[in-house]
Amino acid sequence: MAHGTNETEIKLAVESPQAVRRLLRAAGFTISRRRVFEANVIFDTPKLTLRKAGAVLRVRKAGRLATITYKGRPAVAKYKSREELELEIADGATMTAIVDRLGFSPVFRYEKYRTEYRQRRGAGMAMLDETPVGVYLELEGSPRWIDRTARGMGFSEQDYIVRSYARLYLEWCRRKGLKPGDMVFGPTRKKAGAKA
């Protein structure tokens, strides 16, 4: 199944998964997709052509579902809005090989656990993302829906985050004095200056 849309979203840094679940329940959200482990690989050319253009090419494995996604240059202001083209694929390994043959190589891997939520009459989606660098609530929908939903859960526009997980990871590494690598669970990060 393929689909293309313009996605509009924000992230909100939250204290814990439990705190987010309480907020979501109080706002009338229920689980639409249970918690699943996601392994994401970002691809680019050796000259980082996509990154320089503000675009993203990603292969994601989430449970039994694999997808390939292209994201266009984001318009970043109060929200992050960008074109998103996504296609379900039967075999993530074969798709990765195809992308490799086309001249793209893995440049960044990131992992997270994601749970998706929806309201009965809501026009948007809330996603609880548990990452190696913190817990985030992502709200995706119309700007009006995002504002109303965030406000209803006690957040203000000053809390909105429009940076990617790659950018958040780099900032986290800088704060911790760690040399960036991949944003994965486990002992893969090293202190800055440590020998590899």
pLDDT in tens, 32-70: 999 999 999 999 999 999 999 999 999 999 988 999 999
Quick one: pLDDT band at residue 91, thresholds 50, 70, 90? confident
Lookup: tokens for 177:
């004095």
Instruction: Answer whether residue 167 is part of any domain.
Output: yes
Nearest one of 50, 47, 67 to 59, comparing CA atoms: 67
Other beta carbons less than 10 A from residue 61's beta carbon: 19
Backbone phi, then psi, for 39, in 5-degree steps?
-115, 120
Burial status of residue 188 (CB atoms within 10 A of its CB: 0-12, 13-18, 19 or more): exposed
C-alpha–C-alpha distance, residues 90 and 64, integer Å:
9
Q: Which domain holds residue 152?
A: 2-191
Quick one: pLDDT band at residue 189, thresholds 50, 70, 90? very low
Instruction: Answer whether residue 25 is part of any domain.
Output: yes
Instruction: Answer whether residue 34 is part of any domain.
Output: yes
- Summarised one tens digit per residue, pLDDT across range 98-133 is 999 999 999 999 999 999 999 988 789 999 999 999
Report how many domains make up the chain: 1
Instruction: Answer whether residue 196 is part of any domain.
Output: no
pLDDT on residue 42: 96
CATH code assigned at 16: 2.40.320.10
Amino acid letter, 187: P
Q: Give the three-state DSSP class for 8.
A: strand
| pTM listed for this prediction | 0.88
